[in-house]
Amino acid sequence: MELNDLRTLVQKFEEGKTSLQEERDMKKYFNSNEVPEEFIAYKSLFNFNVASRNIEYSKEIQLNSKPKRKWAYAGVAASILIVMSFLFFNDLTNKKLDEQNLGTIEDPEQAYLKTKETLQMVADVFSEGREDLEYLNEFNKTKNKFIKEQ
């Protein structure tokens, strides 16, 4: 491999832009004994990858893990407590809703008038929002005048 090609490959390698084939070519080159002085550091880098594959740990590893039962029981107890409290409070809420009069209107004529009144209130709120948009349109007109003049 020529020295200029090697320099460009090393530069690409440092930037992380080399392909797998280019890295294989560099590995073959750096595994040879004919490496210039300026690339000695790269030789140890590529040789380390080859040498590190052969490292093995021969001792047997024993894991001393015992299940911690007291925390398991605490988790089960907490789960049961959460479910029981949910069922209890949900039942109370349903009873309170049944006891309350939520404004149900039986007469269709009165229900229609109340619905009409409520929808009119919603329409009024939306109309107020539209009035605020008129100020925004005026602001945009003024802004466009200044931008066109500059």
Query: Which two structure tokens, joined as six digits, stand for 150?
Result: 């500059």
Q: In terms of Cα–Cα distance, which of 47, 52, 38 is closest to 10?
A: 38
3 state SS for 31-52: HCCCCCHHHHHHHHHHHHHHHH
Cα 23 to Cα 12, 15, 38, 80, 90, distances in angstroms: 10, 13, 18, 58, 65
* pLDDT digits 0-9 by tens, 101-147: 666 778 889 889 989 999 999 988 888 777 777 777 787 888 887 77
Instruction: Considering only residues 72 and 10, tell me which one the structure prediction assigns the higher pLDDT.
Output: 10
Residues 98, 77: Cα–Cα separation, whole Å: 32
Please tell me the least confidently modeled range out of 5-9, 113-117, 146-150. Answer: 146-150
Give the sign of the dihedral formed by CA 21, CA 24, CA 25, CA 26.
Answer: positive
* pLDDT digits 0-9 by tens, 25-36: 888 887 776 778
